[in-house]
Structure 1
């Protein structure tokens, strides 16, 4: 019994470690292994360590007999709201919410093992999606969002086969778990601020990924990979709490007694991705890397939260309106080998947002197109070991929001966000 309990705790502990944040467009996390210094250009083609299991499992055939890679990335998004003409309705809230971003940590780990010369198996653990925004209280948009937190964990066993010296194929399956928590102010009568709604949902589901690696010459590699969408049928609860004031307590009790606290369910489909990558050695010192990737964010439109208990069973408690659209990402990187043990890395990328205009932008995710500027170093303390450091600054242009939720009693948030993201990461790899 103790063994079974401990096994159940493992996913929960991993989810706690994989803190929600946001680094790529939407709530996608690209921090899945080495390559931060190159803005992850060439991700599906470079196959330089075991983290290729996530980007393109076919790349395992380029590795040594056994390889392990693990890393840690710290991400600091910043979302500072500047109010223009928000209308907060009955809440009478003041304040711009401070900085809704904060530091978070994204770890990853991989193991690759050669069964024979041409057949490899591997295992990867990471967090492909995550998000956290949290506003200081009080703030004008509290009726729409105070805090939004998404965490995922992805466990990805994989296999790769070398068809010949030019072609390798790979595939994997993914068990993925998601947890989401959403907080907002829920008072619906004047003077009753402080009644807080908390939506909590979770689920686990399966997906898959495939890839191919083409070694066109000793200097040129091309990689393609596809990772499937994953359909979640989440379940959870919608609850109310009070800040302790008499008005809030009275209103909160009335809402609870009228069936506003219940079990809920929601269907969420996280997007599929396609990556095309190239690496090209120009000389003994210089290497170029390129990437074009597509993400099917249109899988997320309106998320209906449906009650599954209480007198309002079967009714929609609320709808989270996303209206996401598919996106493209373009990345270019360069490596300069300074010595046999030291390499310098450079990268530039343009990452589209799935949020296309101010009217569909959410206070929970004030996302916009972002440009990556990255730098890194790779050091080999021994022949079979590699230590990589990376630093990235993500520039987001001025982000406008005009989120009109007045028909739902949540007011209208109008203004601008001053946003940016800093990322710092390290990855250690060893072959044995």
Structure 2
């Protein structure tokens, strides 16, 4: 039991941080979300700090924007027979945000930018009564990226750019322990830690004609280091020596990815976009946690992950109805990196389809509002979870994400 307990503990904490709670979504720009989260091959707005630093130099105006999205998600679970128990997560509202600013002198080929955004972060809450409570009750995590960026325009057709990334975040998880006190109450464990790491984002933007543009972006892996995280156990006094309150260290790698994007304007009013993104999940072969004092008789734990590299395919469109009003639509297909046998309740991942729409309105030459709505549905998936220490059964996830952004040009 001790070995299984620690394997579950390790896999829950690290896989959750890496995959943003099982429904990782990209929410880094409201215009781009409305267009299926395309944007690598376009110079749409200040969100180019994230989507393609090379395109930032092609923005005609200085400006800043701030946006927020609301993640409303539900995960349904059906136990493997013969029990056939059911459960549904009661996840709190997630509110990832993104803020950007871009500035450059008139006629200068050089522009400077700053982005602050949350590419990983979510919450999953199963409660303490469901069949998988010894694997997970609740998980909350967040990663905030701070990215100063510089971009340079080479002639009229090419832009290059790069940004330094500092990431700061936190992770908190709670679950029951399969031990009881004198009153028959189950024990519990809580892990809480802060993490930080470094990386970069670089891109090239090429616009050979007024109708066609191409972009390539690379975002590096970020090694999130947790040092001195808190382990808090609530168990019967007789078990306190086996489950002490102690500290843990861990490395939480967030994957690198590379994206190719195309933009095409068949008419003055219509803009089409397509992105293909490769996410390098194969870095997750095994994960390790080190404890200051032995927990359950172990000073460390390792669990195999063996994730696969995957591709995400995106399409989007924007139609400029009037000079002030724009409509947007898009969609994408996202392959899961989680192989059979590795599914866990905090990351019940499966192949996903995202469908989005949006609109934008300019109140003046300087002030604009953009709104989007993204619906994500993941394939129903059964998994034995025999290689991850997870909870065997069938999982189904649906996510609803409205969003709003305000921008100002100067």
Aligned partner of 2:193 in structure 1 is 201
Contact 2:58 2:159 in 1 (8 A): no
Residues in 1 aligned to 2:287 and 2:247: alpha-carbon distance in whole angstroms: 16
Aligned partner of 2:110 in structure 1 is 119
> C-alpha displacement at 1:22, in angstroms?
11
1:170 aligns with 2:161: yes
Does the residue aligned with 1:186 lie in a helix, a strand or coil?
strand
Aligned partner of 1:415 in structure 2 is 393
Aligned partner of 1:181 in structure 2 is 172
Contact 1:150 1:181 in 2 (8 A): yes
Contact 2:216 2:258 in 1 (8 A): yes
Residues in 2 aligned to 1:424 and 1:126: alpha-carbon distance in whole angstroms: 17
Contact 1:28 1:129 in 2 (8 A): yes
Does the residue aligned with 1:413 lie in a helix, a strand or coil?
coil
Aligned partner of 1:431 in structure 2 is 409
1:387 aligns with 2:378: no
Question: Which of the residues 197, 213, 223 maps onto 1:221?
Answer: 213
Change (3 A) 1:282 1:22: farther
Does the residue aligned with 2:259 lie in a helix, a strand or coil?
strand
Residues in 2 aligned to 1:313 and 1:120: alpha-carbon distance in whole angstroms: 56
Change (3 A) 1:224 1:182: same
Change (3 A) 1:25 1:259: closer
Contact 1:186 1:195 in 2 (8 A): yes
Does the residue aligned with 2:155 lie in a helix, a strand or coil?
coil
Change (3 A) 1:302 1:237: farther
* Matched pairs, number: 391
Question: Which of the residues 253, 269, 278 maps onto 2:253?
Answer: 269
Residues in 2 aligned to 1:79 and 1:325: alpha-carbon distance in whole angstroms: 23
Question: Which of the residues 106, 120, 135 maps onto 2:96?
Answer: 106
Change (3 A) 1:398 1:329: same
> C-alpha displacement at 1:128, in angstroms?
1.1
Residues in 1 aligned to 2:18 and 2:326: alpha-carbon distance in whole angstroms: 28
Residues in 2 aligned to 1:164 and 1:365: alpha-carbon distance in whole angstroms: 46
Residues in 2 aligned to 1:308 and 1:137: alpha-carbon distance in whole angstroms: 27
Change (3 A) 1:22 1:229: closer
Contact 2:128 2:176 in 1 (8 A): no
1:306 aligns with 2:290: yes
Change (3 A) 1:25 1:169: farther
Contact 1:23 1:75 in 2 (8 A): no
Please, what is the CA RMSD of the aligned residues?
2.7
Aligned partner of 1:287 in structure 2 is 271
Deviations along 1:90-131, one digit per CA (max 9) or x if unpaired, are: xxxx96332253421111111101045101111100111113
Deviations along 1:195-246, one digit per CA (max 9) or x if unpaired, are: 00112222211111110100111111111111110112312122212xxxxx
Does the residue aligned with 2:242 lie in a helix, a strand or coil?
helix
Contact 1:45 1:221 in 2 (8 A): yes
Question: Which of the residues 54, 58, 61 maps onto 1:58?
Answer: 54
Residues in 1 aligned to 2:129 and 2:28: alpha-carbon distance in whole angstroms: 36
1:362 aligns with 2:352: no
Does the residue aligned with 2:322 lie in a helix, a strand or coil?
coil
Contact 2:242 2:294 in 1 (8 A): no
Question: Which of the residues 109, 123, 146 maps onto 1:132?
Answer: 123
Change (3 A) 1:45 1:330: same
Change (3 A) 1:46 1:275: same
Aligned partner of 2:312 in structure 1 is 329
Q: Which runs of 5+ in 1 are unaligned?
A: 1-19, 88-93, 242-248
Contact 2:20 2:122 in 1 (8 A): no
Change (3 A) 1:131 1:429: same
Contact 2:293 2:299 in 1 (8 A): no
Contact 1:21 1:27 in 2 (8 A): no
> C-alpha displacement at 1:59, in angstroms?
1.7
Deviations along 1:178-203, one digit per CA (max 9) or x if unpaired, are: 21112121234698552001122222
Does the residue aligned with 2:86 lie in a helix, a strand or coil?
coil
1:78 aligns with 2:74: yes
Scaled by the length of structure 2, the TM-score of the pair is: 0.88
Contact 1:145 1:182 in 2 (8 A): yes
Change (3 A) 1:306 1:254: farther
Residues in 1 aligned to 2:97 and 2:68: alpha-carbon distance in whole angstroms: 4
Contact 2:244 2:295 in 1 (8 A): no
1:400 aligns with 2:378: no
Aligned partner of 2:10 in structure 1 is none
> C-alpha displacement at 1:147, in angstroms?
1.3
Deviations along 1:109-157, one digit per CA (max 9) or x if unpaired, are: 1110104510111110011111321103301011111112221111000
Does the residue aligned with 1:137 lie in a helix, a strand or coil?
coil
Does the residue aligned with 2:186 lie in a helix, a strand or coil?
coil
Change (3 A) 1:339 1:25: farther
Residues in 1 aligned to 2:295 and 2:56: alpha-carbon distance in whole angstroms: 55
Scaled by the length of structure 1, the TM-score of the pair is: 0.84
